[in-house]
Amino acid sequence: MTVPAARVAAQAKINLFLDVLAREPSGYHAIETAFLRIDLTDDVTVRETSGRTLEVSGPALPAGGLGPTERNLAYRAASAYSDATGWPSGFAIELVKRIPVGAGLGGGSADAGAVLRALDALSPRPVGARLTELAATLGADVPFMTIDDPMALGSGRGERLKPIPALEPRAIVLAIPPFPILTGDAYAWLDADRAAQPLASPTSIAEPLASWDDAAAAAHNDFAEVVERRHPGVAAIAERLRGGGASIALLAGSGSTVFGIFEETPDVASLRLGDDVRVITTWTSDRVERVTIDQ
């Protein structure tokens, strides 16, 4: 008997703006942000099995791998689904990595969200809208990665989502420096800097970001200054993207990627981003990739 497999392309994301609020007594930070999916994806396949396994391959897999399987977000997502619903007792996850690791593009969260969606598609008793509640236990970006909307405003720890109409697709250049930035490090830098300087009130964002002009006016990232102070090359990349015609040039999440939004795909060589900077060109998305079931 063939075991059904659920397949989904797990889309990366960018944040068109990102406010990081004060650290809470719990140690967490609330955020206010605008999430937008892009067309860069990992491939995720999930099956019900008797054991619990994760196989990872692909061009974005680091030479040293992704670390212990039990700490991988995709594996943790499947375990959390099983614990919360009683199904499945075992699972096999196959993951093909194309989203760079430690780049601020939400690759691990995209994989976790894809696993949750895949399992819910296979489940005899799907949880539906409750999937975001389960996702919220895994990380701030994961709830967005479980919904069927390509763009949303997010707040709290990412679990409060307000879907908004997606902007029309535009070309995006992802400039990836030769170093990752761990999210925990970025938050620690932010806390250290804020200890010496009081936190200003977050910018009031006009909703619903109805145009790319609105997005350009709102674009900012609270991580940008602390990352650029420790990695000056990040600021230089953003300046070159703007000089090449990008309407938005911004640090992606907690970094290290800098993304540029263009009306048309530019001549990458003319941007002079540096020989050590990896460049990926793709598009912002106005859709969410669907889960398909192979019987």
Catalytic residue among 13, 19, 111, 222: 13
Tell me the C-alpha distance between 13 and 250, whole Å: 13
Catalytic residue among 111, 141, 148, 222: 141
Tell me the C-alpha distance between 163 and 54, whole Å: 31
Tell me the C-alpha distance between 292 and 225, whole Å: 41
Say whether 141 is catalytic. Answer: yes
Q: What share of the chain is helix, strand, coil (3-state, %, to 5)?
A: 30, 30, 40
140 touches 66 (CB < 8 A) = no
Q: Number of helices and strands (H, E) in the chain?
A: 7, 12
User: Token pair of 283, please?
Assistant: 């598009």
Say whether 162 is catalytic. Answer: no
267 CB contacts (<8 Å, ≥6 apart)?
Answer: none
Tell me the C-alpha distance between 210 and 22, whole Å: 28
Tell me the C-alpha distance between 283 and 231, whole Å: 26
User: Token pair of 85, please?
Assistant: 């619903």
List 56's β-bridge partners, or say none. 95
Q: Which residues are catalytic?
A: 13, 141
